């Protein structure tokens, strides 16, 4: 350890004070120059001095650094400050808290301080702020970026170009095809395709591929992989409906023992419930009980239906005689209140009337057969 003499310590202290004064003088000169510049700008542009000061001094806060490291002492008193904040005890609140709870903080062990810091760190994460980027901002960003890329790749339609043009097509003679599509369903953006003049009709004439069809398939592949590129939404929904119909009919045949049993949505009560004395149990309330082509076209709803049929959350149930009578009476009451429509075949217009057959009393209804009076022989006809 180096021990300085009294004269050396005095010289070192004087040097530090001199540097501190020089630093303060430099700051004062900078502020004076800034004030003069503020007045000059305000006078030349006919703007208030306050307006110029606000615009100039706004950057000062960016140079200040915030203390982000947690401290056990500050965390300990932050708890009491939040507790006494509602009391509105004035400026002396913090000072009084420090004097009152200082001994309590000193008695805290190291483990207790670490626990307080960890608890406060978890609470601080819930108060973090983030930057929200709107969908419109994303679309604008993508559109402007693609426009800039397109302008760099191919020049705008003008008659003459300068030798100093930096467009890629003019500068190097390269041809470009660009396809851009969204990779998430959260972004409402249509696929974009453009090509330079030399290869503008290449995909359609040589490869036989439509640009919009290619972009749609690429978008499906980006969103859902190979499955999305191979089939569209309509085909997927149709496939799920077919799977639901198959599992419904298969389980109906098993529970009834009839290999020809088939689900009939329109005449469900008469042809299924009354005939086999079975009913469907567990059908979700948010999906109407009707033909799948009319009930829902949403893919998540259909997938939910299929998974419930597979897991027996929706199943066929055999009704007892008492349950069937109760269900039949409820069904009839709903028909009487016009809550449901009873789909039945229309009765014949001549129902209840007896048909008259052909009798001697009514010779006009007798069927008459006519034949020729004479039949020529084949031998005579040949002669």
Q: If DSSP states are collapsed to H, E and C, what string results for the chain?
A: CCCCCHHHHHHHHHHHHHHHHHHHHHHHHHHHHHHHHHHHHHHHHCCCHHHHHHHHHCCHHHHCCCCCCCCHHHHHHHHHHHHHHHHCCCCCHHHHHHHHHHHHHHCCCHHHHHHHHHHHHHHHHHCCCCCCCCHHHHHHHHHHHHHHHHHHHCCCCCCCCCCCCCCHHHHHCCCCEEEECCCCCCCCCCCEEEECHHHCCHHHHCCCCCHHHHHHHHHHHHHHCHHHHHCCHHHHHHHHHHHHHHHHHHHHHHHHCCCCCCCCCCCHHHHHHHHHCEEEECCCCCCCCCCHHHHCCCHHHHHHHHHHHHCCCCEEEECCHHHHHHHHHHHHHHHHCCCCCCCCCCCCCCCCCCCCCCCCCCHHHCCCCCCCCCCCCHHHHHC
pLDDT number for residue 192: 81
pLDDT at 59: 45
Distances (CA, A) of 134 to 12, 130, 289: 59, 13, 39
pLDDT at 228 over 70: no
Indicate whether 257 and 274 sit together in one domain.
Answer: yes
What residues have CB less than 8 Å from 217, skipping those under 6 apart? 229
Q: Mean per-residue pLDDT for 168-196?
A: 79
User: Would you state the structure tokens that stand for residue 174, as one six-digit string?
Assistant: 């390269």
Rounded distance between C-alpha atoms, residue 237 and residue 296, angstroms: 10
Flag whether pLDDT at 2 surpasses 80.
no
Domain range for residue 197? Answer: 135-230
Q: Look at residue 220 in the predicted model and tell me its pLDDT.
A: 75
* Co-location of 52 and 77 in the same domain: no
Whether residue 241 is found in the same domain as residue 315: yes
- Top-confidence residue, 344 or 66: 344
Instruction: Give residue 124's pLDDT band: very low, low, confident or very high (50, 70, 90).
Output: confident
Judge whether 179 lies within some domain: yes
Q: Is the CB of residue 195 less than 8 Å from the CB of residue 174?
A: no
315-318 and 278-281 beta bridge pairing:
antiparallel
Query: Lowest-confidence range among 8-22, 203-217, 237-251?
Result: 203-217
Within-domain flag for 16: yes
221 and 151 inside one domain: yes
Mean pLDDT along residues 216-239: 68
Mean pLDDT of the region 171-187? 79
What is the mean pLDDT of the segment spanning 50-61? Answer: 63
* pLDDT given for residue 292 in this prediction: 79
Q: Which of 81-90, 211-220, 245-254, 324-333 has the lowest mean pLDDT?
A: 81-90
Tell whether 238 and 332 lie within a shared domain. Answer: yes
Number of domains in the chain: 4
Residue 161: the pLDDT is: 41
Over the chain, what is the mean pLDDT?
A: 75
What whole-number distance in Å separates Cα of residue 105 and Cα of residue 116?
11
In a domain, 375, yes or no: no
Q: What's the rounded Cα separation, in Å, for the pair 149 and 180?
A: 11
Closest CA to 241 of 190, 324, 176, 297: 297
- Residue 93 has a pLDDT of 66
Within-domain flag for 182: yes
Q: Specify the higher pLDDT residue, 74 or 225.
A: 74
Average the pLDDT over each of 146-150, 221-225, 313-317 and give the range with the smallest value.
221-225
What is residue 111's predicted lDDT score, i.e. its pLDDT?
86
Q: Is the domain of 182 the same as that of 250?
A: no
The residue-averaged pLDDT of 349-366 equals 61
| Stronger pLDDT, 343 or 200, i.e. the higher one | 200
Please tell me the number of Cα atoms within 13 Å of 314 on its side-chain side.
18
Q: Last residue of some domain: 297, 313, 336? A: 336
- Per the domain annotation, does 148 fall within a domain? yes
Q: Which of 204, 230, 256 is the last residue of a domain?
A: 230
Of 146-155, 173-182, 252-261, minimum mean pLDDT range? 146-155
* Mean pLDDT of all residues in 219-245: 71
pLDDT exceeds 50 at position 230: no
pLDDT of residue 82: 60
Give pLDDT tens digits for 243-275: 988 999 999 999 888 888 888 888 888 888 888
Q: Check residue 149 and give its pLDDT.
A: 80
Q: Which of 192, 146, 200, 148 lies closest to 176 in space, CA to CA?
A: 200
The dihedral formed by the CA atoms of 238, 244, 248 and 254, expressed in degrees to the nearest 10: 110
Q: Are residues 247 and 225 in the same domain?
A: no
Residue given tokens 């269900």 in the structure block:
327
Joined together, the tokens standing for residue 381 give 């006809």
Q: Does residue 283 share a domain with residue 317?
A: yes
Q: State the pLDDT at residue 359.
A: 54
Query: 217's torsion region: left (phi>0), alpha (psi -120 to 50) or beta?
Result: alpha
pLDDT of 60 above 60: no
Whether 298 shows a pLDDT value over 80: the answer reads: no
The domain boundary residue, chosen from 195, 230, 265: 230
361 vs 199, more confident: 199
Is the model's pLDDT at 179 over the cut of 80? yes
Q: Worst-scoring range by mean pLDDT, 140-149, 170-179, 270-279, 342-351?
A: 342-351
The position carrying tokens 């330079």 is: 196
pLDDT, residue 81, reads 59
Angstrom distance (rounded) from CA 114 to CA 120: 10
> Distance between CA 287 and CA 173 in Å, rounded?
60
In angstroms, the CA 350 to CA 353 distance is: 6
């Amino acid at each position: 350890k180096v021990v300085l003499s009294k004269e050396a310590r005095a010289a070192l202290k004087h040097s530090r004070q001199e540097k501190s004064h020089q630093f303060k003088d430099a700051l004062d000169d900078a502020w004076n120059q800034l004030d003069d510049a503020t007045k000059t700008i305000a006078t030349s542009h006919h703007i208030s001095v306050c307006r110029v000061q606000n615009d100039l001094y706004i950057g000062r806060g960016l140079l200040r650094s915030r203390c982000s490291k947690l401290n056990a002492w500050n965390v300990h008193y932050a708890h009491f400050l939040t507790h006494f904040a509602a009391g509105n005890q004035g400026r002396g609140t913090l000072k009084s808290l420090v004097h009152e709870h200082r001994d309590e903080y000193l008695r805290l062990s190291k483990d207790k301080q670490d626990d307080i810091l960890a608890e406060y760190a978890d609470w601080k994460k819930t108060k973090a702020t983030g930057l929200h980027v709107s969908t419109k901002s994303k679309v604008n960003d993508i559109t402007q970026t693609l426009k800039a890329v397109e302008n760099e790749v191919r020049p705008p339609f003008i008659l003459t170009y300068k030798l100093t043009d930096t467009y890629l097509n003019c500068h190097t003679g390269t041809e470009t095809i660009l396809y851009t599509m969204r990779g998430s369903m959260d972004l409402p953006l249509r696929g974009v395709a453009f090509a330079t003049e030399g290869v503008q009709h290449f995909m359609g004439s040589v490869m036989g591929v439509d640009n919009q069809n290619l972009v749609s398939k690429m978008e499906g592949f980006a969103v859902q992989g190979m499955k999305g590129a191979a089939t569209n939404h309509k085909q997927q929904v149709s496939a799920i409906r077919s799977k639901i119909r198959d599992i419904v009919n298969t389980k109906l045949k098993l529970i009834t023992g009839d290999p020809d049993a088939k689900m009939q949505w329109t005449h469900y009560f008469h042809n299924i419930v009354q005939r086999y004395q079975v009913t469907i149990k567990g059908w979700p309330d948010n999906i109407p009980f009707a033909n799948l082509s009319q009930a829902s076209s949403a893919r998540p709803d259909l997938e939910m239906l299929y998974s419930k049929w597979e897991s027996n959350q929706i199943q066929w149930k055999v009704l007892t005689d008492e349950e069937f009578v109760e269900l039949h009476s409820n069904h009839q009451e709903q028909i009487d209140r016009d809550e449901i429509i009873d789909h039945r075949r229309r009765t014949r217009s001549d129902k209840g009337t007896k048909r008259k057959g052909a009798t001697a009393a009514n010779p006009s209804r007798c069927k008459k057969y006519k034949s020729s009076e004479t039949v020529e022989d084949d031998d005579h006809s040949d002669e």
